[in-house]
């Protein structure tokens, strides 16, 4: 009977050792699970930061595209204004040339009128 008790005791020790190993494995799994949960929290936080940054970049991208369209429109408007300014400068120069010619002609005509008036007075006095 003593041998039977020793066998049962060895079996019980084997069972205890088996459960101790399972408890150790479970403890290891809990530590691993906690570490993985911590890693997961950090990844979720990092993902949130990346998503926030992406939204900001997307907003800036839209804003930059809008600015680019405005710049393009302003460049077209500038080119049109330069063309219009060049045309007006040409017309202004042309008109100034015409005015100068008319002023010279007017001055010449005024001199002719003065000479003719002087001649008329001379003729009137000579009579």
Q: What is the mean pLDDT of residues 10-29?
A: 95
| pTM (2 d.p.) | 0.51
Q: What is the pLDDT of residues 30-40, one digit of tens each?
A: 999 999 999 99
Q: What is the pLDDT of residues 53-97, one digit of tens each?
A: 999 998 899 899 999 999 999 999 999 999 999 999 999 999 999
Tell me how far CA of residue 74 lies from CA of 10, 60, 63, 80, 85, in angstroms.
93, 20, 16, 10, 16
User: For tokens 């003593």, what's the residue?
Assistant: 2
Average pLDDT, the chain: 95
Q: How many Cα atoms occupy the beta-carbon half-sphere of 35 within 13 Å?
A: 6
Q: 125 in the Ramachandran plot: left (φ > 0), alpha (ψ -120 to 50) or beta?
A: alpha
Please tell me the predicted confidence (pLDDT) of residue 126. 81
Query: What's the gap between Cα 9 and its chain centre?
Result: 80
What is the pLDDT confidence band of residue 127, given thresholds at 50, 70 and 90? low
95 against 127, higher pLDDT: 95
Q: What is the pLDDT of residues 2-11, one digit of tens each?
A: 888 999 999 9
Range in 59-63, 99-103, 117-121 the model is least confident about:
59-63
What is the pLDDT confidence band of residue 46, given thresholds at 50, 70 and 90? very high
Q: How many Cα atoms occupy the beta-carbon half-sphere of 100 within 13 Å?
A: 6
User: For tokens 């101790």, what's the residue?
Assistant: 20
């Amino acid at each position: 009977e003593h041998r039977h008790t020793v066998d049962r005791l060895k079996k019980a020790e084997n069972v205890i050792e088996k459960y101790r190993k399972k408890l150790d494995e479970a403890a290891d799994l809990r530590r691993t699970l906690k570490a993985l949960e911590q890693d997961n929290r950090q990844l979720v936080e990092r993902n949130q930061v990346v998503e926030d940054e992406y939204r900001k970049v997307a907003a800036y991208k839209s804003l930059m595209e809008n600015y680019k369209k405005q710049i393009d429109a302003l460049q077209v408007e500038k080119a049109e204004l330069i063309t219009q300014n060049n045309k007006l400068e040409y017309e202004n120069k042309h008109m100034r040339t015409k005015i100068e010619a008319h002023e010279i002609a007017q001055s010449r005509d005024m001199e002719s009128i003065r000479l003719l008036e002087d001649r008329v007075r001379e003729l009137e006095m000579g009579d």
